[in-house]
């Protein structure tokens, strides 16, 4: 007899309160943050033209996939990691869940740390505290991390409702401050100088390198999409508005980060992605308080999304855990993790290593669950089977080895392609590895189904 392994409840129709603008705000708010400025600064190493082309290409591809994943949540009312049960197996979905838990706590910590660096710069200017990186400089950073963590607790305190509120209020403030910030940045630099600038020596990045960094950065949101879209009423909110929001937030902020970094490199003669933060420029103009607010608000809206995704992943792993306590738990863990980069000599190295790891794992994982839902099972997931031992999604002992093998293959392919200059330096390894994984899983899963029906 089939047995339940735990409850997974689709969001009830009356609890579906998120409209078009909520989803637009959520995804603009997700990408409108210091981390995106920073990544703009990182890809500046490819030069202005290559970097901005890579930005558009990687953004459009990744967020089409985001829209598809988001549609899955809208249709089923289920969170993202529960939706990996039919593809990876009722037990197998534990693996994507752990990765989501780690990566979203990691993102929250990374964003917090980047914000804390900026906060420490501002404290230096406002209060004369030593700067981060100089003796005694950790004080501003630690206070910054604590400020951010308190705001995170506030934003997730009521679960999904408070997250929605923070996105609604946050986005208006983000818009106002950042339009103004953009004006400040572009007043300071000439476009022709920016286009002409090239990074020196070992910093140089190829177009493939930029696409891989950006793919990891963008795809990391795809596994959070359904955690929000399950609360949507209309399909458009889940698909079109999520796609647009994520792209607007990405392009806007990464371009500012890109331009600000290049501008600072031209002025100072040295390239440093840490200069991507326009609030540093604002502080130089004596607008420290405003800069502080921009950083704090933008990071809070982004981390609300990260913490929601991490908390939702935790509820897929421990069925008795409700969303709100799960959110509290992951927020406290994220606070602790935020201190880790203090022990790395350069934050950039840690951040790139982190991004590399996610791109490698997430790309093929996303390929598998999208192919499963749209091609193998033709948008027909049965909510009653999600918890069943020996049910439709049980496979062998709860694991779908075809999905897991395809995933492992995708990771291996990514590694292989990274060492092939023809791919790694041109279009990048991530999307190619995903396409190959999709094909392999499509073949393996189709064979499986035909054998069963014969």
Tell me which residues touch ligand CYT (CB under 6 A). Answer: 35, 107, 111, 217, 220-221, 302, 306
Dihedral sign for Cα atoms in the order 438, 442, 444, 448: positive
CB of 359 to ligand CYT, least distance (A): 11
Residue 50 or 111 having the CB closest to ligand CYT: 111
Residue among 453, 30, 419 nearest 252 (CA):
30
CB of 33 to ligand CYT, least distance (A): 7
Residue 194 or 330 having the CB closest to ligand CYT: 330
Residue 151 or 220 having the CB closest to ligand CYT: 220
How would you class 71 by CB atoms within 10 Å of its CB: exposed for 0-12, middle for 13-18, buried for 19 or more? buried
399 forms beta bridges with: 396
Residue 8 or 307 having the CB closest to ligand CYT: 307
Spell out the alpha helix ranges (H) of 189-238: 191-196, 207-222, 225-229, 235-238
Instruction: State the first-to-last Cα distance of the chain, in angstroms, to the nearest integer.
Output: 24
Q: Which residue has the tokens 């809208």?
A: 74
For residues 32-53, one letter each, b for 16 or more C-beta atoms within 10 angstroms of the residue's C-beta and e for the rest, the string is bbbbbbbbbbbbbbbbbebbbe
Query: CB neighbours of 212 closer than 8 A, spacing ≥ 6?
Result: 356, 359, 418, 424, 428, 429, 430
Residue 170 or 391 having the CB closest to ligand CYT: 170
Phi, psi of 18 (to 5 degrees): -90, 125
CB of 191 to ligand CYT, least distance (A): 27
Residue 306 or 335 having the CB closest to ligand CYT: 306
Query: CB neighbours of 428 closer than 8 A, spacing ≥ 6?
Result: 58, 207, 208, 209, 210, 211, 212, 215
Q: Which residue has the tokens 């062998």?
A: 396
> What are the tokens at 159?
């679960």
**Alpha-carbon gap, residue 142 to 156, rounded angstroms:** 21
> What are the tokens at 151?
């705001």
**Alpha-carbon gap, residue 28 to 24, rounded angstroms:** 6
Q: How far is CA 97 from the centre of its chain?
A: 15
**Alpha-carbon gap, residue 233 to 15, rounded angstroms:** 9
CB of 355 to ligand CYT, least distance (A): 9
Residue 334 or 417 having the CB closest to ligand CYT: 334
CB of 221 to ligand CYT, least distance (A): 5
Residue 58 or 429 having the CB closest to ligand CYT: 58
Query: What value does the CA radius of gyration of the chain take, rounded to a whole number of Å?
Result: 22
CB of 356 to ligand CYT, least distance (A): 14
**Alpha-carbon gap, residue 261 to 148, rounded angstroms:** 24
CB of 66 to ligand CYT, least distance (A): 10
CB of 251 to ligand CYT, least distance (A): 13
Residue 184 or 256 having the CB closest to ligand CYT: 256
CB of 214 to ligand CYT, least distance (A): 9
Residue 307 or 403 having the CB closest to ligand CYT: 307
DSSP code of 18? B
CB of 9 to ligand CYT, least distance (A): 26
């Amino acid at each position: 007899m089939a047995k339940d392994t735990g409850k997974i409840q689709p969001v009830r129709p009356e609890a579906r309160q998120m409209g078009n603008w909520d989803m637009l705000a959520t995804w603009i708010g997700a990408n409108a943050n210091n981390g995106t400025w920073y990544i703009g600064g990182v890809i500046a190493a490819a030069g202005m033209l290559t970097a901005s082309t890579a930005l558009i290409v990687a953004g459009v591809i990744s967020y089409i996939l985001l829209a598809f994943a988001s549609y899955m949540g809208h249709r089923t009312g289920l969170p993202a990691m529960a939706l990996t049960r039919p593809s990876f197996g009722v037990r197998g979905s534990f693996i994507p869940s752990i990765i989501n838990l780690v990566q979203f706590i990691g993102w929250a910590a990374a964003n917090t740390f980047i914000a804390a660096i900026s906060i420490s710069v501002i404290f230096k200017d406002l209060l004369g505290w030593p700067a981060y990186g100089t003796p005694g400089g950790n004080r501003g950073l630690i206070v910054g991390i604590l400020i951010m963590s308190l705001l995170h607790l506030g934003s997730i305190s009521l679960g999904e409702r408070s997250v929605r509120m923070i996105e609604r209020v946050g986005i208006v403030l983000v818009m106002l401050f950042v339009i103004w910030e953009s004006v400040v940045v572009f007043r300071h630099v000439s476009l022709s100088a920016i286009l002409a600038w090239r990074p020196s020596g070992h910093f140089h990045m190829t177009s493939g390198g930029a696409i891989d960094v950006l793919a990891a950065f963008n795809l990391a949101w795809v596994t959070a999409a359904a955690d929000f879209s399950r609360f949507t009423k209309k399909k458009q909110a889940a698909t079109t508005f999520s796609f647009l929001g994520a792209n607007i937030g990405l392009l806007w902020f990464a371009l500012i980060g890109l331009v600000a970094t290049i501008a600072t490199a031209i002025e100072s003669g040295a390239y440093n992605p840490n200069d991507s933060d326009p609030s540093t420029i604002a502080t130089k103009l004596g607008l420290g308080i405003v800069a502080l607010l921009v950083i704090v608000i933008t990071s809070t809206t982004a981390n609300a999304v990260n913490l929601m995704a991490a908390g939702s992943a935790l509820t897929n792993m421990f069925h008795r855990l409700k969303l709100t306590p799960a959110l509290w738990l992951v927020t406290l863990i994220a606070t602790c993790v935020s201190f880790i980069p203090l022990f790395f000599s350069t934050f950039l190295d840690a951040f790139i290593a982190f991004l590399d790891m996610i791109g490698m794992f997430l790309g093929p994982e996303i390929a598998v669950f999208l192919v499963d839902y749209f091609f193998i099972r033709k948008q027909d997931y049965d909510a009653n089977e999600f918890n069943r031992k020996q049910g439709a999604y049980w496979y062998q002992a709860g694991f779908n080895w075809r999905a897991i093998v395809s995933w492992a293959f995708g990771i291996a392919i990514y590694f292989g392609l990274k060492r092939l200059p023809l791919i790694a330096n041109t279009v990048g390894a991530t999307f190619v590895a995903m396409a190959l994984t999709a094909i392999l899983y499509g073949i393996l899963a189709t064979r499986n189904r035909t054998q069963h029906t014969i």
